[in-house]
A and B are shown apart, each in its own frame.
Chain A
Amino acid sequence: MNLFKDLRIVYYFIKRYFRVWTYFKVNFVLELIQVVIDLATMAIIASAAGKYISYMLKAYGGDYFAFIVLGLVCNQLLSVALTAPRSAIEDAFWGRRIEILFSSPVNPTFLVTAFSIGPIVRESVKTLIYLLTAILLGLSTKPLNILSTVVFFTGFLACMGIGLISASTLYLLEAKGGSDPVNWIASIVARLLSGLYYPLNILPEWCRWLSLIVPHTYVFDAERRILLGSVSGESSLPIHSVFVALGFSPVLADLVLLAIYAGVVLPLSYYLIRKGFEKALRDGRLSWWS
């Protein structure tokens, strides 16, 4: 298959995803309105609490509203990278589409990746609305640049890797029926310890070390430094000190760690996905009725 044909296939998956998403029109509109409501809530909290914690946000420019909006924007897209592969396979598994698709000459890993694009596009649309609303509410950041884009996409790939590992558990661990152990752990750590709502330095030392197991931590730190604060500046993650000693800035340290993370997790995830499908083909459990 060449790239153009692959993109055509992806286009069909996106098309079907959007038809499903917009099938209940009122729900669709309410979902978009919800984005604005969530942001307005955050703006109120930020204006009330911002002045009390802004002194902790020196490395990130000191503006709590910008701090939290940037975190939530990144989180929205990183979260979908975590969940999309699995929910896409599960949807095809319970919707009985997986076997008929597998009867065609298509690479399973390509299929899973293509399945995942629809939810990613959906969250991108919502994120855009989120950002535009935030700008209307007074969000001010430095302009996007290559470094922030590279950091984000490296983090996104790392999350996609975890998402694919989570998807592989569907067959490898028979993790169906509402359970998703990998994603569950990653989401909890990301929400609680990665510095999404508050700076990491308010957490105990062991929590800060634990926060390093998810890519979110590095992405939040680097993006906030690049777009709100300064690339250099005091380190906020415990592992930064190792890199600072080597002459790296905290942002570069984040980027290197994310690249290592993605470099390990992505090949592992593709290996596990392949093994998962192999197991399903051996056990005859590719589809729920087979």
Chain B
Amino acid sequence: MSKDIVIVNNVYKSYPKYKRFGPGTCLGQAHWILATIFRMRKEGVVEALKGVSFRVKRKEIFAIVGPNGAGKTTLVKCIGALLLPDKGYIEVDGVNVVEEPLKAKKRMNLVGSGYWGGFDWSLSLEENLQLFALLYGYDFKEAKRRAKEVLDIVGLSHKAKDNPTKLSSGERQRLALAKGFIADVPLYLIDEPTVGLDPVFAKQIRDYIKTEMKKRGITVIFTTHFMHEAEYLADRIAIIKDGKIIALGTADELKAKFTRGKVVEIKAYNVYEDALNKIKSIEDIIHIDVFHRSYGAETLLRILTRNPLETLNNVLDILLMYSSTILYANISEPTLEDVYRAIVGEEYG
């Protein structure tokens, strides 16, 4: 058995961009003729993945982070056999995903963001989950047991007989996660696991992934926009931008590699625009975040810099020169969010 459960090698994926025809041009039964004509008018392609390669070890928790439209979901769907790559090789647990998608799907479970929308509103929560368990090949008795168990895990057992339309948006996301937990498979692919969840339940889900799934030896690949989530959960993190993986490693490795510096935090009253412009021109600064509170009276500056002491002194000098009142100053280690901002760039914020 290979030590790598997922192998992604030089994967390319592009989507054709077709000219669309607007609403109101539908011709009923002849609509398909119009659709075919317009679909022949290609307006180029959207390159979602451009030669992505990485490997995920067994029992590893692996995060994929990146700005909107970077290719995270496309990558997860390619691994989950819901998209065919144009080029490249994807293997899950020794199975070629492109050549044997059904065999590969038996070894993984994918939870997409917004998957709650795909649950059948005419079936109850437990019936929906029983159906998914049956699709994974479990017998009816086992399907019922599993549905009950996963509803307990996601805290929805009291709503087992309700249909999905009666759930709040957070509960729907939990239901989507329940679908992910229904099968005993070695690999879970989760697209944004905690999006739309309240902080308490988001923590419960993170803890479940970190402790229970780790204990059961399950490999998890997840995408997220929350850097603290990636840092807390993942053994390794891949940062993807414009369809390419631009950084890969543990949180500490990424911090060491991409942020040769520290974070200077300063809280002050009355920080004026001129002062901010001067601060931004300090040479050693890699990245600066400005947060205003109390209608702009209080400002928090979070500065990632190569030379923390000198930057702190320079910033304090500037602020005092502009008659700002310093409330607090500190030097700390950079977080993954700082790394992300340094790598991905300001334009993606």
How far is B135's CA from A5's CA once the two chains are assembled, in angstroms?
A: 9
B130 and A12: CB pair below 8 A? yes
Is A56 at the interface (CB under 8 A from chain B)?
A: no
* Residue picked from A104, A184, A286, most chain B C-beta under 10 Å: A104
A104 and B132: CB pair below 8 A? yes
Is A8 at the interface (CB under 8 A from chain B)?
A: yes
How far is B135's CA from A107's CA once the two chains are assembled, in angstroms?
A: 10
B120 and A97: CB pair below 8 A? yes
B117 and A96: CB pair below 8 A? yes
**Interface digits, B110-125 against A, CB 8 Å rule (1 contact, 0 not)?**
1010110111101100
How far is B134's CA from A8's CA once the two chains are assembled, in angstroms?
A: 8
Is B280 at the interface (CB under 8 A from chain A)?
A: no
The list of the 4 closest CB pairs from A to B, nearest first, reads: A100-B118, A175-B32, A179-B31, A105-B105
Partner of B26, one of A19, A20, A178: A178
Residues of B within 8 A of A281 (CB): 81-84
Shortest CB distance A215–B (Å): 21
Is A169 at the interface (CB under 8 A from chain B)?
A: yes
Partner of B28, one of A96, A173, A178, A287: A178
Residues of B within 8 A of A51 (CB): none
Shortest CB distance A21–B (Å): 9
Partner of A177, one of B15, B26, B130, B137: B26
B82 and A173: CB pair below 8 A? no
A283 and B32: CB pair below 8 A? no
**Interface digits, A4-18 against B, CB 8 Å rule (1 contact, 0 not)?**
010011001001100
Interface positions of A (Cβ within 8 A of B): 1, 5, 8-9, 12, 15-16, 19-20, 23, 95-107, 169, 173-181, 184, 278, 281-284, 286-287, 289-290
B123 and A105: CB pair below 8 A? no
B123 and A12: CB pair below 8 A? yes
Shortest CB distance A284–B (Å): 5
Q: List 18 other contacts, CB 8 Å, given A101-B118, A101-B135, A105-B105.
A: A5-B137, A9-B131, A15-B127, A16-B122, A16-B123, A19-B122, A98-B118, A99-B112, A100-B118, A103-B80, A103-B82, A104-B135, A106-B135, A175-B35, A178-B31, A179-B29, A179-B33, A284-B15
Shortest CB distance A259–B (Å): 31
Q: Which secondary structure dominates chain B's binding surface?
A: helix
B36 and A173: CB pair below 8 A? yes
How far is B122's CA from A179's CA once the two chains are assembled, in angstroms?
A: 27
Partner of B123, one of A19, A180, A181: A19
Is B267 at the interface (CB under 8 A from chain A)?
A: no
**Count of A-B contacts with CB under 8 A?**
117
A107 and B31: CB pair below 8 A? no
B105 and A100: CB pair below 8 A? no
Supposing A9-B135, A175-B32 touch, asked if A100 and B84 sit within 8 A by C-beta, the answer is: no
How far is B135's CA from A174's CA once the two chains are assembled, in angstroms?
A: 28
Is B109 at the interface (CB under 8 A from chain A)?
A: yes
Shortest CB distance B41–A (Å): 13
Is B140 at the interface (CB under 8 A from chain A)?
A: yes
How far is B103's CA from A107's CA once the two chains are assembled, in angstroms?
A: 10
Supposing A16-B120, A104-B136, A106-B135 touch, asked if A179 and B102 sit within 8 A by C-beta, the answer is: no
How far is B74's CA from A287's CA once the two chains are assembled, in angstroms?
A: 14
A102 and B135: CB pair below 8 A? no
How far is B36's CA from A20's CA once the two chains are assembled, in angstroms?
A: 33
Is B225 at the interface (CB under 8 A from chain A)?
A: no
Counting chain B residues whose Cβ lies within 8 A of the other chain, the interface size class is: 35 or more
Supposing A174-B36, A174-B39 touch, asked if A105 and B137 sit within 8 A by C-beta, the answer is: yes
B32 and A107: CB pair below 8 A? no
Is B16 at the interface (CB under 8 A from chain A)?
A: yes
Supposing A5-B137, A104-B132 touch, asked if A15 and B31 sit within 8 A by C-beta, the answer is: no
Residues of A within 8 A of B84 (CB): 278, 281-282
Supposing A101-B135, A175-B32, A180-B29 touch, asked if A15 and B102 sit within 8 A by C-beta, the answer is: no
B131 and A173: CB pair below 8 A? no
12 of the cross-chain contacts (CB-CB < 8 Å) are A8-B143, A19-B122, A20-B122, A95-B118, A97-B118, A105-B102, A105-B135, A179-B28, A179-B29, A281-B84, A283-B16, A290-B82
Residues of A within 8 A of B122 (CB): 16, 19-20, 23
Shortest CB distance A32–B (Å): 20
Q: For B117, give the chain A residue with the smallest CB separation.
A: A96
Residues of A within 8 A of B102 (CB): 105-107
Residues of A within 8 A of B28 (CB): 178-179
Q: Which chain B residues (270-319) contact chain A, with CB distance < 8 Å?
A: none
Supposing A16-B122, A179-B29, A281-B82 touch, asked if A103 and B15 sit within 8 A by C-beta, the answer is: no
B114 and A289: CB pair below 8 A? yes
Q: For B103, give the chain A residue with the smallest CB separation.
A: A105
B130 and A173: CB pair below 8 A? no
How far is B172's CA from A226's CA once the two chains are assembled, in angstroms?
A: 55
B112 and A100: CB pair below 8 A? yes
Is B179 at the interface (CB under 8 A from chain A)?
A: yes
Is B30 at the interface (CB under 8 A from chain A)?
A: yes
How far is B28's CA from A178's CA once the two chains are assembled, in angstroms?
A: 5
Residues of B within 8 A of A290 (CB): 77, 82
Is B58 at the interface (CB under 8 A from chain A)?
A: no
A176 and B118: CB pair below 8 A? no
Q: For A169, give the chain B residue with the smallest CB separation.
A: B32
B32 and A174: CB pair below 8 A? yes
How far is B79's CA from A201's CA once the two chains are assembled, in angstroms?
A: 59
Shortest CB distance A38–B (Å): 24
Residues of A within 8 A of B74 (CB): 284
Q: For B114, give the chain A residue with the smallest CB separation.
A: A289
B118 and A12: CB pair below 8 A? no
Shortest CB distance A117–B (Å): 14
Q: For A286, give the chain B residue with the smallest CB separation.
A: B82
B127 and A103: CB pair below 8 A? no
A96 and B32: CB pair below 8 A? no
A173 and B137: CB pair below 8 A? no
